[in-house]
């Protein structure tokens, strides 16, 4: 708020969906053996990181509420994705997931929540954790849910895939193209300030 003397968050972030954006979408990813990093994804993440963006994965994981996966299994999959990305030189700053689904079969997760995209809760939580300026950040994903969650937080949005969108700010064929679009719009701030 203006006039409060509170400093605005300064970090820029790219909020990334997981399945269909960074890794191959296999329906419901339930085993580490099924993880496939999409072509060009690691390189795109590396370039965004080098340009000063935080990389935060925000993903719906309703398989937990459906009883197909435990939260421990979700964390194991996250660790393996992180390992595979690091093997290709890419580093992700944080993983955030929503395990809820109103019609889920596991009662503790079967509820309406504020974190299941298109609700903005996951992005808002990640932004608080990492001191992110949402107006200077991007939300990238392969569904309208991802776009809507980004819009609700004030991020610029990129929809990946071949579909048209009435809501996304930009369209990209894959994460590699999305990364190029972001970097065209947002040059590295260090190059403008003269910092080494």
Q: Looking at 19, 34, 129, 142, which residue is catalytic?
A: 19
Where do runs of H (alpha helix) occur along 131-196? 144-153, 175-185, 189-193
pLDDT > 60? residue 102: yes
Of residues 193 and 110, the one with the higher pLDDT is: 110
Average pLDDT of the chain, as a whole number: 92
Q: Which helix (H) or strand (E) holds 97?
A: strand 94-98
Which pLDDT score, from 0 to 100, does residue 192 have? 40
Q: How far apart are CA 14 and CA 157, in angstroms?
A: 10
Q: Is 194 a member of any domain? A: no
Name the phi and psi angles at 133, rounded to 5: -85, 105
Q: How far apart are CA 3 and CA 7, in angstroms?
A: 10
Q: How far apart are CA 175 and CA 192, in angstroms?
A: 25
Q: Is 124 a member of any domain? A: yes
Q: Is 6 a member of any domain? A: no
Which one, of 53, 47, 132, 32, lies nearest residue 90 by Cα?
47
131 counts as catalytic:
no
**Pairing assessment for the beta strands 12-16 and 138-141 based on DSSP bridges:** parallel
Share of the chain above pLDDT 90, in %: 86
25 counts as catalytic:
no
* Residue for token pair 């935060």: 56
Which one, of 128, 66, 65, 118, lies nearest residue 94 by Cα?
128
Distances, alpha carbon 157 to alpha carbons 113, 164, 192, in Å: 22, 13, 24
pLDDT > 90? residue 193: no
CATH number at residue 145: 3.40.50.1000
User: pLDDT category, 35, cuts 50, 70, 90?
Assistant: very high
Of residues 139 and 3, the one with the higher pLDDT is: 139
Q: Is 29 a member of any domain? A: yes
pLDDT in tens, 103-161: 999 999 999 999 999 999 999 999 999 999 999 999 999 999 999 999 999 999 999 99
Average pLDDT over residues 160-184: 93
Share of the chain above pLDDT 70, in %: 92
Q: Is 1 a member of any domain? A: no
Quote the domain boundaries for residue 97: 12-185
Q: How far apart are CA 99 and CA 193, in angstroms?
A: 42
Which one, of 63, 81, 58, 79, lies nearest residue 27 by Cα?
63
pLDDT > 90? residue 5: no
User: pLDDT category, 166, cuts 50, 70, 90?
Assistant: confident
Q: Is 118 a member of any domain? A: yes
User: pLDDT category, 47, cuts 50, 70, 90?
Assistant: very high
Q: Looking at 17, 34, 131, 190, which residue is catalytic?
A: 17
Number of structural domains (the chain) is 1
Average pLDDT over residues 154-176: 92
In the three-class reduction of DSSP (H, G, I as helix; E, B as strand; rest coil), residue 176 is classed as helix
Q: Is 4 a member of any domain? A: no
Q: Is 72 a member of any domain? A: yes
Which pLDDT score, from 0 to 100, does residue 1 have? 39
């Amino acid at each position: 708020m203006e006039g409060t003397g509170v400093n605005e968050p300064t970090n820029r972030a790219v909020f990334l969906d997981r399945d269909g954006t960074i890794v191959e979408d296999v329906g419901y990813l339930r085993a580490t053996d099924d993880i496939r990093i999409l072509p060009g994804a690691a390189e795109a993440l590396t370039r965004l990181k080098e340009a000063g963006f935080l990389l935060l994965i925000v993903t719906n994981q309703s398989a937990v509420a459906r009883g197909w996966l435990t939260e421990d299994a979700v964390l194991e999959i996250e660790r393996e994705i992180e390992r595979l990305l690091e093997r290709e030189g890419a580093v992700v700053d944080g993983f955030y997931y929503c395990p809820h689904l109103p019609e889920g079969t596991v009662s503790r997760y079967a509820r309406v929540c504020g974190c299941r995209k298109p609700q903005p809760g996951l992005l808002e939580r990640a932004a608080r954790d990492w001191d992110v300026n949402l107006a200077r950040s991007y939300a990238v994903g392969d569904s309208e849910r991802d776009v809507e969650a980004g819009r609700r937080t004030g991020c610029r949005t990129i929809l990946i895939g071949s579909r048209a969108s009435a809501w996304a700010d930009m369209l990209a064929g894959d994460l590699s193209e999305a990364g190029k679009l972001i970097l065209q719009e947002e040059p590295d701030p260090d190059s403008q300030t003269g910092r080494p």
